[in-house]
Amino acid sequence: MTRETLHFINGQFVGGQSGRLFDNRSPLDNRLVSRVHEAGRAEVDAAVRAARAALTGPWGRMTADERAQLLHAVADEINRRFDEFLQAEIADTGKPVSLASHIDIPRGAANFKIFADTIKGVATEFFETPTPDGKGAINYALRVPKGVVAAICPWNLPLLLMTWKVAPALACGNTVVVKPSEETPSTATLLGEVMNAVGIPPGVYNVVHGFGPDSAGEFLTTHPDVNAITFTGETRTGAAILKAAADGIKSTSMELGGKNAALVFADCDMDQAIETTTRSAFANCGQVCLGTERIYVERPIFDEFVRRLGEAARSMKPGRPDDPATKIGPLISHEHRRKVLSYYEKAKAEGATLVAGGSVPQMPGELAEGAWIEPTVWTGLPETSAVVREEIFGPCCHVRPFDTEEEAIRLANDTPYGLAAALHTTNLARAHRVGAQLEVGICWINAWFLRDLRTPFGGSKQSGIGREGGVHSLEFYTELRNVCIKL
């Protein structure tokens, strides 16, 4: 029998009043994973009401230490049910076990631990204030939760990016309503079971399923009783949500798209640069907002770099998630593959030199129905090409030579986006000098996706507003309330 994916509202798994369901299909072979209940205004309203009520229930009376203990229990329970989370994530996304078991699920648990620990160590500001009578006053600032937080989540790293929002929101004492991507509803729903098992009070964590416009996403972001919205996804969607938030004067945190550059200098460790760039361009089938889609290589090593990156791309074997030989999974959906392939067509039409890939691989048996695509490397396109300027979000990159450091910096910064960059050089002075001039939220030197969860994370320019991570998340998920006591 086909499984149904339900909403999780006020501690209970419930269907929708509208009776509308949509298909959740595996991108591996297009088989039906589950039928998902779509939330209308009534379910979103019920979820927001439950979240609002929970703020003044047992959850609202807990100390930060008590909340932290519960969040540690959530992390432990995710780890105990690791395989269920892994299978749910793989069913929705088709990503290789090697990837999901090293990144997606462990980070899902780690996100709860880091924010549980962060919240316990937060100091508050305090001022002694002179007054005319000489007795003075003291001022101190309390950090209070913002209230009901709406978390609008993407499909590329579903558990990882959802818990990156939920964990700090809960650590700070808020309640949440999560809207997972319509492509990946499973792990957010499974997390509801974990919340109940460890004793998170009903209404603190809620999940509603559906789409964006005229569906759960829009109903949630326009809901008058939502206090804050955290979003990860495409820049255009971020703009639509910002407009909705403006009407309700809601605070927002926006983690948006990127068109990230890698700069490879002739003095780099070539083996390391190839290994790292292969990951940054092709990991998760290129569906990482931090991924590299533009590579600039210093001219003396350009030919060797292109040849070796092409070999690496061709060696990325697609296949079943549990096959240890599998190096790359499918794209998230056929619709997304149509988008990525339209860029493959544009590159061809504009006369790019195809170094590797460029089309759809032949897959055996039922895998032929999946959203597979070849990792692709191009050279020879002008910087004005849509392929070089727009976020593709697929396993592809364009490589171009440069001659001077200044030119490399100019090329890297010539984009409306500003999320991440990677520099490859063994010259420490150059790494500092160039790294400081790149207009991005995060710059890796001889690395990529090396994450310390205490550091500020977010984008500049059209890649986002705000920073999350460690104490920076607390800035978004709490409000400062000043108390002034006349002595």
Ligand X SMILES: O=C(O)/C=C/C=C(\O)C(=O)O
- Using rule CB under 6 A, residue 24 touches ligand NAI: no
**Minimum Å distance from CB 156 to ligand NAI?**
5
Question: Whose structure tokens read 């700090």?
Answer: 168
- Using rule CB under 6 A, residue 38 touches ligand NAI: no
Query: Contact with ligand NAI (CB under 6 A): which of 33, 86, 153, 309?
Result: 153
Those residues with Cβ within 8 angstroms of residue 434's Cβ, 6 or more apart along the chain or in another chain: 263, 405, 408, 409, 423, 425
Query: Contact with ligand NAI (CB under 6 A): which of 50, 241, 285, 422?
Result: 241
50-52-53 Cα angle (round to 5): 65
Query: Contact with ligand NAI (CB under 6 A): which of 237, 376, 379, 478?
Result: 237
Among ligand NAI, ligand X, none, what does residue 312 contact (CB within 5–8 Å per kind)? Answer: none
The amino acid present at 348, given as its one-letter code, is: K
Phi, psi of 357 (to 5 degrees): 75, -135
Query: Contact with ligand X (CB under 6 A): which of 156, 237, 260, 415?
Result: 156
Phi, psi of 282 (to 5 degrees): -120, -15
Query: Contact with ligand NAI (CB under 6 A): which of 143, 336, 424, 467?
Result: 336
Report CA Rg, the chain. Answer: 23
What burial class does residue 51 get, using C-beta atoms within 10 Å of its C-beta: 0-12 exposed, 13-18 middle, 19+ buried? Answer: buried
The reply to whether 38 belongs to the active site is: no
**Minimum Å distance from CB 280 to ligand X?**
12
Residues 290-349, interacting with ligand X (CB under 6 A): 290
Those residues with Cβ within 8 angstroms of residue 275's Cβ, 6 or more apart along the chain or in another chain: none
- Using rule CB under 6 A, residue 157 touches ligand X: yes
Q: Which is nearer to ligand X, 244 or 288 (CB)?
A: 288
Between CA 259 and CA 390 the distance in angstroms is 7
Q: Which of 38, 77, 255, 468 is catalytic?
A: 255
- Using rule CB under 6 A, residue 451 touches ligand X: yes
Pairing state between β 251-255 and 464-465:
antiparallel
H helix or E strand, kind and range, residue 278: helix 270-282
**Minimum Å distance from CB 287 to ligand X?**
7
234-236-242 Cα angle (round to 5): 105
* HEC profile of 364-431: CHHHHHCCCCCCEEEECCCCCCHHHHCCCCCCEEEEEEECCHHHHHHHHHCCCEECEEEEECCCHHHH
Among ligand NAI, ligand X, none, what does residue 290 contact (CB within 5–8 Å per kind)? Answer: ligand X
**Sheet of 32-37: strands edge to edge?**
4-5, 32-37, 21-25
Residues 202-231, interacting with ligand NAI (CB under 6 A): 211-213, 217-218, 221
Burial letters for 317-341: b for 16+ Cβ neighbours within 10 Å, e otherwise? ebbbbeeeebbbbbbbbeebbeebb
Residues 446-485, interacting with ligand NAI (CB under 6 A): none
**Minimum Å distance from CB 227 to ligand NAI?**
16
- Using rule CB under 6 A, residue 235 touches ligand X: no
**Minimum Å distance from CB 255 to ligand X?**
5
Q: Which is nearer to ligand X, 154 or 329 (CB)?
A: 154
- Using rule CB under 6 A, residue 440 touches ligand NAI: no
- Using rule CB under 6 A, residue 454 touches ligand X: no
Q: Which is nearer to ligand X, 185 or 257 (CB)?
A: 257
Stretch in the footprint of ligand X (CB under 6 A) among 74-82, 145-153, 287-295, 365-373: 287-295
Q: Which residues contact ligand X by CB under 6 A?
A: 154, 156-157, 161, 164, 232, 255, 288-290, 451, 457
Q: Which residues contact ligand NAI by CB under 6 A?
A: 152-156, 179, 181-182, 211-213, 217-218, 221, 232-234, 237, 240-241, 257, 289, 336, 339, 391, 393
Task: Please give the positions annotated as active site.
Answer: 255
